[in-house]
């Protein structure tokens, strides 16, 4: 299980037709794209097949995910924003019992915009346009809750994880405030289509970005970008409101000096920074972070109250100030990595 996505990309470096349908590559930061450049091509391919699958039809006009970056990568970093998607397909909204506001409660709103400057600096940014309530790619591929579906889930599905128990599996049952997303059980085919047509291509794309980066620079650093509610508290007494949380899976996903430097840089800007608690990193950080293979992964959680009104979803007036701080933080962290990992020879794809 641990090597599945890296193995897929290493043996098949070109995107499959399904991946091509769901991937948009932008050379200028445009974090929320509503029209894909290959819209007509995808429609033509669907007509050639005789019909269009529902899940693929959900993203006819908006690509399911996109890579934003300069034409040539200039830094050994890859940024990932898997929960900032805010395009809610009409078919999905029709399945839901929630209104258009309530269903956004699990969304990492505008995180892709907070980190958009990384693309201008020469590091690719992979971001989802599909919402977290629709599909959570920061989970194992088969964390499924059997109570959600009309038919039995596959025998290999992980139905006992803590995330499934909490209603936050690969196909989420709940949004952030504990509200049920769906009015009735889903056909299992719906979950399978989302996993096959979006989840797997998303991870194949992320894995290819990391492998190509490591091949070019000898190492790669993945920054998995998230946001957290303003109500989150940390610290031994549970009374500290963190501005940022840096997660490295308790030291297993990245070199300690990289983690320490990230924390120090943010603290130097006056932010309250917490390490691993309560968020140490999810599936993406754990799965891809392999410092012994020269792939480091850090998860960064940004407190939403720093940049948005969590009730109205409006950006605060000083939104750009945080964007600038994150841009400067990334520049300094990148410079530190370039100085700290200079002697690692490039590694061929596995």
In this prediction, residue 163 carries a pLDDT of 96
In this prediction, residue 238 carries a pLDDT of 72
Question: Percentage of the chain with pLDDT > 90?
Answer: 76
Cα angle at 59 between 103 and 55, to 5 degrees?
Answer: 80
**Per-residue confidence at 5, pLDDT binned at 50, 70, 90?**
very low
Contact 258, 206 (CB under 8 A): no
Is a pLDDT exceeding 80 seen at residue 12? no
Question: Percentage of the chain with pLDDT > 70?
Answer: 82
Higher pLDDT pick, 176 / 276: 276
> Mean pLDDT, to the nearest integer, of 226-255?
92
Q: What are the structural domains, with CATH classification, of the chain? A: 4-340 (3.40.630.40)
Q: And the tokens for 323?
A: 């964007």
Distance CA 193, CA 56 (A): 9
* Close Cβ partners of 189 (under 8 Å, ≥ 6 residues apart): none
Contact 16, 8 (CB under 8 A): no
In this prediction, residue 239 carries a pLDDT of 81
Cα angle at 149 between 144 and 151, to 5 degrees?
Answer: 110
In this prediction, residue 121 carries a pLDDT of 85
Map 33-51 to HEC letters.
CCCCCCHHHHHHHHHHHCC
Is a pLDDT exceeding 90 seen at residue 4? no
In this prediction, residue 59 carries a pLDDT of 95
Question: Tens digit of pLDDT for each residue in 65-91?
Answer: 999 998 899 999 999 999 999 999 999
In this prediction, residue 236 carries a pLDDT of 67
Question: Tens digit of pLDDT for each residue in 268-290?
Answer: 999 999 999 999 999 999 999 99
Distances (CA, A) of 79 to 41, 93, 117, 236, 270: 28, 29, 11, 30, 23
pTM for the whole structure? 0.85
The phi and psi torsions of 78 (rounded to 5 degrees) equal -130, 130
**Per-residue confidence at 344, pLDDT binned at 50, 70, 90?**
low
The phi and psi torsions of 234 (rounded to 5 degrees) equal -140, -170
Is a pLDDT exceeding 80 seen at residue 2? no
In this prediction, residue 14 carries a pLDDT of 35
Question: Tens digit of pLDDT for each residue in 26-66?
Answer: 433 333 332 332 343 344 344 334 334 589 999 999 999 99
**Per-residue confidence at 103, pLDDT binned at 50, 70, 90?**
very high
**Per-residue confidence at 129, pLDDT binned at 50, 70, 90?**
very high
In this prediction, residue 343 carries a pLDDT of 55
In this prediction, residue 36 carries a pLDDT of 32
> Mean pLDDT, to the nearest integer, of 286-296?
97
End-to-end distance of the chain based on CA atoms, in angstroms?
Answer: 16
């Amino acid at each position: 299980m641990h090597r599945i996505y890296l193995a897929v990309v290493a043996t098949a470096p070109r995107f499959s037709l399904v991946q091509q349908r769901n991937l948009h590559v932008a050379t200028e930061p445009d974090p929320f794209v509503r029209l894909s450049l290959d819209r007509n091509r995808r429609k033509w391919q669907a007509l050639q097949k005789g019909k269009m699958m529902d899940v693929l039809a959900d993203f006819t006009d908006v690509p399911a995910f996109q890579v934003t970056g300069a034409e040539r990568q200039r830094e050994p970093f890859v940024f990932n924003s898997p929960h900032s998607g805010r395009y809610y397909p009409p078919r999905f909204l029709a399945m839901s019992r929630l209104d258009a506001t309530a269903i956004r409660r699990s969304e990492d709103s505008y995180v892709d915009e907070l980190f958009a400057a990384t693309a201008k600096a020469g590091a690719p940014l992979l971001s989802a346009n599909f919402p977290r309530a629709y599909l959570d790619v920061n989970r194992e591929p088969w964390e499924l809750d059997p109570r959600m579906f009309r038919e039995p889930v596959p025998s290999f599905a992980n139905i006992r994880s803590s995330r499934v128990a909490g209603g936050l599996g690969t196909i989420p049952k709940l949004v952030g405030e504990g509200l049920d997303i769906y009015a009735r059980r889903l056909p299992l085919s719906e979950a399978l289509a989302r996993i096959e047509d979006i989840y797997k291509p998303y991870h194949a794309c992320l894995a290819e970005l990391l492998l190509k980066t490591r091949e070019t620079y000898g190492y790669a650093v993945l920054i998995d970008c998230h946001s957290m509610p303003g109500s989150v508290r940390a610290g031994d007494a549970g009374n500290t409101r963190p501005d940022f949380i840096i997660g490295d899976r308790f030291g297993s996903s990245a070199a300690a000096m990289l983690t320490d430097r990230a924390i120090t840089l943010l603290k130097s800007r006056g932010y309250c920074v917490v390490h691993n608690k309560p968020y140490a990193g999810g599936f993406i950080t754990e799965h891809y972070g392999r410092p012994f293979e020269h792939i480091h992964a850090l998860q960064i959680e940004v407190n939403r109250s720093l940049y948005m009104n969590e009730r109205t979803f409006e950006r605060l007036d000083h939104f750009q100030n945080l964007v600038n701080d994150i841009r400067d933080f990334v520049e300094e962290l990148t410079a530190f990595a370039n100085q700290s990992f200079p002697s690692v020879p490039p590694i061929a794809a596995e």
